[in-house]
Amino acid sequence: MNKPLRHIAVFCGVLMTALLGQVTWVQFHQAETLAEHPDNRRVTVKNFAQPRGDIIVGGKPITGSVATPGSDLKYKRVLQDGPMYAPVTGYFSQAQGSTLLEGVHNDVLSGKDSRLLSGPLAPLTGKRPDGGDVLTTINPAAQKAAYKGLTDLKATGAVVALDPRTGRILAMASTPSYDPSRFAGISHKEGREFQRLAEDKRKPLSNRAIREIYPPGSTFKILTAAAAIEHGTVTNIDTPSDAPAPYRLPLSTTEIGNVVPDSQCDKVSMRTAMQWSCNNVFLDAALRTGKDKMRETAEKFGFNKEQFTPVRTAASGYPSALDKPQTALTGMGQGSVTTTPLQMAMVTAGLANDGKVMKPYLVDELRGADQSTLQKYEPEVLHQAVSAATAKKVQEMMEYTVTDGTGSKVAVEGVTVGGKPGTAQHGADVRDERPYAWFVSYAKQPDGTSPVAVAVLVDPEDMDISRADIAGGRLGAPIAKAVMEAVLQK
């Protein structure tokens, strides 16, 4: 072979070696990455090639899959009572992706989870197993009561109910809501529906129960009371305080008054202050307890950290850099303190559970299509936020607030109930913005344990109601009562 031909042969050999090397690399090292790449149409086709597993509430599926004729995406998602359960399930859409439980547990629901494979030869068949099911902690009667309470008011808002003993989430409602079935496919009509929801100023796609933060207003006073008692700022809840009404913020000329006449709150005890929601006593208690001890107690209840239920929540906030006026304002749930409705349900549940805060969770069990258990979730202690003695004193005050104070509308016949209403000012000019209405409560059984704690948030911005009628006891208490009754009837 002459020299030029030899060079050409060597060059072709190098090219063939490189080509074989690249093919080997792609097939053996990049195959999985390419097979799962979101831009790979085959991935999308495979994801919708078979019916999906279900999300279960109260032993019954609230989701399903229906055939989509004329499309290579064979099945799409449908829900029963979609708007009521959307804050729990989220959506699973051929065009828009997935959120909440549909997203977090997508591998189980779609059949991709390796735990669903049966037998040693299963991985070699190339067939995806049938999707598994996600069994939630939701109580269907409590969920219905929460959603109905908000929609009957035509209100923007959220409700969260917990079992204080375990942390199980019994209800999680958010309004306005949406029906995930209405944009589960890829048609132009469904695309327009999603766009309409995404552009709606009331944010129906947002889960207000866990993903939006608000000033907690006077409901935060139960945490202020717990911090003040736990750290020795208040040693007797029936001893008159030195907090005058109105109360002048330190280093300031600003005076904070009360909804009830100031004479009714002047230098009263903490029990009386809780009864009538006297701002002055809680401003003074937070100031004297101090920002560090207040923040320490708040963090033990779950503030300043995201929660994973397993859906990730927004973090409620108690800042570290506060001056004295700002510290005082946190005592009444204003200033820089922020919370989700879930967080205030955790505070209420922790106090009802003698100071022990349980980790909130939304899923009881993951199951295969054959009903085998893939994973079982168990209660987990988050923190002993305050001592049992401290918690019982706050319970006393909350129960007194229901029997003899501003929380009377939440009372349930034959059951001990503790509660605290609140209104929360917000916005750049609080005189122009309509306040949020809050209510937190728990119900107690004869043995002293509590099976349910509730937090209700109502944003009356779009409601046909006067500013004078915006109050947590008026708007939120009936919803909290209905949710607790639904749980108790079980």
What stretch of H or E contains 159? strand 156-162
Find the catalytic residue in 93, 218, 316, 450: 218
Specify the length of the chain in residues.
Answer: 490
Cis (ω within 30 of 0) for the bond into 310?
A: yes
CA-to-CA separations, 225 to 216, 221, 462, in angstroms, rounded: 14, 6, 33
CA distances in angstroms from 177 to 105, 119, 209, 333, 470, listed in the order given: 22, 43, 12, 27, 22
Query: What residues contact residue 59 under an 8 Å CB cut-off, 6+ apart?
Result: none
Is 218 considered catalytic here? yes
Which of these, 406, 419, 410, lies nearest to 272 by C-alpha position? 406
Q: How many whole angstroms separate alpha carbon 194 and alpha carbon 462?
A: 22
State how far the Cα of 161 lies from the Cα of 172, in Å rounded to an integer: 7
Match 């999906």 to its residue by tokens: 52
CA 405 to chain CA centroid, Å, is 29
Backbone angles phi, psi at 443, to 5 degrees: -115, 140
SS3 186: coil
Cα radius of gyration (the chain):
28
Buried b (16+ CB within 10 A) or exposed e, 139-166: bbbbbbbbbbbbbebebbbbbbbbbbbb
Hey, which bits of 7-74 come out as E strands?
55-57, 60-61, 63-67
User: Which positions ≥6 away from 441 have C-beta within 8 Å?
Assistant: 348, 398, 402, 407, 410, 417, 418, 419, 420, 453, 454, 477, 480, 481, 484
Compute the distance between CA of residue 347 and CA of residue 223 in angstroms, rounded to an integer. 7
Helix (H, G, I), strand (E, B) or coil at 119: coil
- What is the rounded CA–CA span in Å between residue 99 and residue 340? 19
Q: Are 394 and 229 in contact (CB under 8 A)?
A: yes
Active centre residues (catalytic): 218
